[in-house]
């Protein structure tokens, strides 16, 4: 059966430790089965992967793993060996093994090997990524590994930003990986509004296995989407489980509001009725009334007057986590910062 999970894999402000730990039993109740820790803000997993985690971060990760395990949620970590040169493994292998051993100490159920959003375009890119993957898989960090290709969609935006992929990059990468290793794919676009059956069938043919969808439909970490609070339901549907190996939903930066969108995505995946804004509890009527402003008008178009009016409506409920996140958003706490990309 294809599994539904969550990947905290976005740029910008991450969820923070208390929100993550509190989310685990809730995810289980909604029908999610795994969580992958891979926030771009954890530089020790990405831009600075060569340095070890600080002791407090290690402690928090162990606690998060325990919370996931207690809830019956499979726990994983995603690492991006950014700018690792496989031609210089003599120096880099020691550092790579040290990071993998630190992840293995968490006894994860999943390992994400993530080549996403890094410079590409070199002719031997697939061979480079396969060399790294071979070294990582040899370490036996987790029972299951999911690889995110450097080009994880055929969306032209990836070529514009990172250069053209080598011919047959995806096919060559997939062919060189063991068949039990999964591959992430974001669909026709980096942020896909739907996943056509013929598209998924073609991707399955190209990679020799069903893809694991990295679903960005509910994310808001980029320049174009940061002004909005996407509340779902997203792009999933009950037909998808038969076409993919799984789905990892990459949600919005606001952890409590994300529950609204995630509950709606889970309902769509499992073929249940759309719960709408029910996850907001006592705030559901208010959020239903102001949803248009958050999801379609957005921070910028609201302007000072619109934001002030919205603040006046939400402020009486400031003690509630979802209301606090809306107020933080209205105060510019989630305005896109290009520095988050680096």
Quick one: tokens of 209? 């296995």
117 catalytic per annotation = yes
Check if the beta carbon of residue 142 is closer than 8 Å to that of residue 111: yes
Q: Please give, one letter per residue, the 3-state secondary structure of the chain.
A: CCEEEEEECCCCCCCCHHHHHHHHHHHHHHCCCEEEECCCCCHHHCCCCCCCCCHHHHHHHHHHHHHHHHHCCEEEEEECCCCCCHHHHHHHHHHHHHHHHHHHCCCCCEEEEECCCCCCCCCCHHHHHHHHHHHHHHCCCCCEEEEECCCCCCCHHHHHHHCCCCCCHHHHHHHHCCCCCEEEECCCCCCCCCCCHHHHHHHHHHHCCCCEEEECCCCCCCCCCCCCCCCCCCCCCCCHHHCCCEEEECCCCCCCCHHHHHHHHHHHHHCCCCCCCHHHHHHHHHHHHHHHHHHHHHHHHHHHHHHHHHHHHHHHHCCCHHHHHHHHHHCCCCCCCHHHHC
Q: What are the backbone dihedrals phi and psi of residue 37, each rounded to the nearest 5 degrees, phi first?
A: -85, 110
Greatest CA separation found in the chain? 60
Of the candidates 213, 203, 231, which has an alpha carbon nearest to the alpha carbon of residue 290?
231
Catalytic member of 42, 117, 215, 221 = 117
Check if the beta carbon of residue 300 is closer than 8 Å to that of residue 227: yes
Active site residues: 117
């Amino acid at each position: 059966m294809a599994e539904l999970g969550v990947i905290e894999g976005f740029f910008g402000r991450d969820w923070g430790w208390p929100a993550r730990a509190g989310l685990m039993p809730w995810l289980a109740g909604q029908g999610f089965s795994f969580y992958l820790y891979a926030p771009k803000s954890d530089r020790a997993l990405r831009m600075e992967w060569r340095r070890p985690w600080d002791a407090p971060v290690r402690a928090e990760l162990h606690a998060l793993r325990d919370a996931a395990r207690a809830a019956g949620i499979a726990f994983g970590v995603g690492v991006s060996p950014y700018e690792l040169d496989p031609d210089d493994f003599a120096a880099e292998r020691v550092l790579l093994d040290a990071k993998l051993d630190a992840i293995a100490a968490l006894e994860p159920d999943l390992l994400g090997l993530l080549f996403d959003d890094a410079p590409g375009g070199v002719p031997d890119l697939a061979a480079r990524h396969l060399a790294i993957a071979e070294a990582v898989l040899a370490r036996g960090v987790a029972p299951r590994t999911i690889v995110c290709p450097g080009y994880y969609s055929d969306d032209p935006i990836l070529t514009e930003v990172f250069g053209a992929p080598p011919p047959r990059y995806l096919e060559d990468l997939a062919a060189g990986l063991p068949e039990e290793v999964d591959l992430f794919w974001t669909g026709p676009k980096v942020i896909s509004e739907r996943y056509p059956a013929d598209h998924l069938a073609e991707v399955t043919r190209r990679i020799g296995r069903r893809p694991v969808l990295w679903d960005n439909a509910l994310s808001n970490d980029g320049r174009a989407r940061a002004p909005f609070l996407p509340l779902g339901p997203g792009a999933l549907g009950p037909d998808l489980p038969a076409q993919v190996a799984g789905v990892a939903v990459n949600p919005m930066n606001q952890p409590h509001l994300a529950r609204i969108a995630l509950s709606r995505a889970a309902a769509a995946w499992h073929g249940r009725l759309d719960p709408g804004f029910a996850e907001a509890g006592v705030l559901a009527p208010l959020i239903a009334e102001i949803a248009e402003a958050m999801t379609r008008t957005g921070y910028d178009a609201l302007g000072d007057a619109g934001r002030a009016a919205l603040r006046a409506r939400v402020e009486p409920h400031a003690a509630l986590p979802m209301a606090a996140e809306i107020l933080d958003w209205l105060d510019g706490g989630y305005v896109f910062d290009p520095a988050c990309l680096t």
